[in-house]
Structure 1
Amino acid sequence: MRLILVGPPGAGKGTQAARLVENYDIPQLSTGDMLRAAVAARTPVGLKAKEVMDAGGLVSDEIVVGIIRDRIAEDDAKKGFILDGFPRTLAQAEALDVMLKSGNLELDAVIELRVDQTKLVDRIIKRAEDAKAAGEPVRKDDDPEVFKQRLEAYNRDTAVIVPYYEKAGLLSVIDGMQSIDEVTASIETVLQGLDEKV
């Protein structure tokens, strides 16, 4: 089960990915975590990434795809994986396809959590208020201004991968404004449909 979760920040991808990890016993691959792990492990790709980051640069798509290639070769990803936060651009989606094909792998599904973005901002403000009320630290991402910038970046760069995967016949759209449990149930329905296709 090789999946990509797509959706704007705050759509609930992290929550749903955690449930998929538990239900399917496949790892959630966050590019940030993988990058840090590759740098710490001093893998060839990790060393390349460290060099770029130390120089204050952005890690190239080629390096990120290399890190994903190394990571999905590990035992715990043999049954599949969930990509969250990647691909972020059309170029990354295309590079990911090339890399998977070279390993005779393919994606099973791309699940988009589609949300009403104006209500999303309200949801983030409420999440920040709830955290404050509970005496917990507010996530940096939950600052409404920071959040709006992240949303703009998503709409500008990442939303374009949705039609790309739709054209490839991999996209399933789920209403991300449902309750957490309803979103989980909708994802389950999509994944059961995949099993029936096999």
Structure 2
Amino acid sequence: MFNIILFGPPGSGKGTQSEKLIAKYGFKHLSTGDLLRSEISSQTPLGLEAKNFMDKGQLVPDEVVIGMISTALEQNPGVSGFLFDGFPRTQAQSEALDKLLKLKQTAIGVVLALDVSEEELVKRLLNRGITSGRSDDNNEEVIRARIVEYHKKTSAVADHYKQFDKVVHIPGEGSVEEIFEALCAEIDSRQ
């Protein structure tokens, strides 16, 4: 089983590249947002616990999220690997994920970070705001704040995985196909 974490600031093309990687390698996409919504709608014990925190405007504790990831791992025994999206976001979450994966006799194979200049991100997101109608993509100030927040949060995770030589920076500017080929080259070289 080969597991990857795909990083990229808003507008980096992470969603597009995730879909292509899943199609090519058969990875199971693990988005914590999707997991939370699924567990809540299924009214599982973890989902109800998460909903309780969310209803109070609180963040869902790491233990609950890790529990949901553990369930997802158990429910997908035959997949070739998992693509983690939106998790981990902190040093503590990285360590908890590593412990869980070790229990399941697997690990993170590589952390792929899409690097895109701030000006290009702003341009892409403003354009996406026009075409998609997403309200968070039509205000340059809000976009720049989201990019700063992304870098603040993910630097701790990148630092955690750098100590294991698992972080690879991929240029996220160029054609979709060029970026995809660069991501695939890294995955193929580590499997």
Cα deviation 1:43-92 (Å, max 9, x = unaligned):
22112111111222111111111111111211266321101111112221
1:140 aligned onto 2:141: no
The TM-score normalised by the length of structure 2 is 0.91
Asked if 2 retains the 8 angstrom alpha-carbon contact of 1:93 and 1:161, the reply is yes
**Residue type matched to 1:74 in 2?**
Q
Partners of 1:140 and 1:32 in 2: CA distance: 19
Give 1:71-110 correspondences, 5 Å limit.
71-75=72-76, 78-110=79-111
Give structure 2 stretches of 5+ with no counterpart: none
Cα deviation 1:118-148 (Å, max 9, x = unaligned):
221122223334x1xxxxx422331223322
Partners of 1:177 and 1:103 in 2: CA distance: 36
Asked if 2 retains the 8 angstrom alpha-carbon contact of 1:27 and 1:77, the reply is no
Cα deviation 1:96-116 (Å, max 9, x = unaligned):
111111222211111011111
Asked if 1 retains the 8 angstrom alpha-carbon contact of 2:129 and 2:137, the reply is yes
Q: Output the aligned Cα RMSD.
A: 1.6
Partners of 1:18 and 1:106 in 2: CA distance: 22
Partners of 1:170 and 1:190 in 2: CA distance: 11
**Residue type matched to 1:177 in 2?**
E
1:155 is displaced (CA, Å) by 1.6
Q: Which residue of 1 aligns with 2:151?
A: 155
Partners of 2:149 and 2:78 in 1: CA distance: 29
1:166 aligned onto 2:162: yes
Partners of 1:27 and 1:170 in 2: CA distance: 20
Q: Which residue of 2 aligns with 1:182?
A: 178
Q: Which residue of 2 aligns with 1:50?
A: 51
Asked if 1 retains the 8 angstrom alpha-carbon contact of 2:10 and 2:125, the reply is no
1:30 is displaced (CA, Å) by 1.0
The TM-score normalised by the length of structure 1 is 0.88
Identity level (%): 38
Partners of 2:178 and 2:135 in 1: CA distance: 27
Q: Which residue of 2 aligns with 1:39?
A: 40
**Residue type matched to 1:9 in 2?**
P
Q: Which residue of 1 aligns with 2:63?
A: 62
Partners of 2:174 and 2:46 in 1: CA distance: 40
Give structure 1 stretches of 5+ with no counterpart: 132-136
